[in-house]
């Protein structure tokens, strides 16, 4: 058996890890999602003790290598078309953007955000839905946009 630890994220300076317990053929038997160095070490030590695994059977995958291995994933790109008057208040638009970013980050959604002024009705659009292949994923995207629109009052008069 072997332990494979993959650094899969970095959020606000705190690393996220996926820790796999694998069999001798590399097949995953268990997977644990942990945050931070302390949790990572605790989980690796626990798995080592429970499964009698030595230090030579622990593998680490860096964030850069993890991302390159999983480079087929493209984040959604959402564009917020907001009333142009809002953009005259720099502090307000900056705070608004940070709140939206934080909300999506806390939900675990990998989304890139753009905020553009408009004289037209406010709306949120996804500009790269071609990467979505399944109908259920379109439903999730529509639910996400509706949720954000309601939560952050986009297009609400």
Ordered by start, the domain boundaries in the chain are 2-69, 76-151
pTM comes to: 0.52
Distance CA 145, CA 151 (A): 10
**pLDDT higher than threshold 80 for residue 121:** yes
Q: Output the CA–CA distances (angstroms, integers) from residue 141 to 4, 24, 83, 115, 119, in the order listed.
A: 32, 39, 23, 18, 25
**pLDDT higher than threshold 90 for residue 42:** yes
Distance CA 3, CA 31 (A): 10
Class of domain 2-69: alpha beta
> Could you tell me the pLDDT band of residue 71, with boundaries at 50, 70 and 90?
low
pLDDT score for 69: 66
**pLDDT higher than threshold 90 for residue 38:** yes
Q: Single out the residue of 43, 41, 35, 44 nearest to residue 17, CA to CA.
A: 35
Per the model's pLDDT, the better-predicted residue between 126 and 71 turns out to be 126
> Could you tell me the pLDDT band of residue 153, with boundaries at 50, 70 and 90?
confident
pLDDT score for 43: 92
Q: What is the 3-state secondary structure (H, E, C) of the chain?
A: CEEEEEEEEEECCEEEEEEEEECCCCCEEEEEEEECHHHHHHHHHHHHHHHCCCHHHEEEECHHHHHHHCCCCCCEEEEEEEEHHHHHCHHHHHHHHHHHHHHHHHHCCCEEEEEEEECCCCEEEECCHHHCCCHHHHHHHHHHHHHHHHHCCCCCC
Q: Residue 22: how many CB atoms within 10 A of its CB?
A: 17
């Amino acid at each position: 058996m072997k332990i494979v630890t993959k650094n899969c994220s970095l959020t606000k300076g705190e690393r996220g890890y996926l820790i796999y317990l694998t069999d001798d053929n590399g097949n995953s038997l268990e997977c644990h999602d942990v945050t931070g160095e302390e949790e990572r070490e605790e989980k690796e030590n626990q798995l080592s003790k429970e499964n009698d695994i030595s230090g030579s059977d622990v593998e680490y995958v860096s964030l850069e290598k993890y991302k390159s291995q999983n480079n087929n994933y493209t984040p959604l790109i959402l564009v917020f078309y907001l009333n142009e008057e809002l953009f005259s208040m720099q502090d307000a638009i900056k705070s608004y953007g940070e709140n939206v970013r934080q909300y999506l980050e806390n939900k675990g959604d990998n989304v890139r955000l753009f905020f553009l002024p408009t004289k037209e009705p406010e709306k949120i659009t996804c500009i790269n839905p071609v990467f979505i292949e399944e109908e259920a994923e379109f439903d999730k995207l529509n639910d996400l946009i509706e949720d954000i629109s309601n939560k952050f009052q986009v297009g609400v008069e």
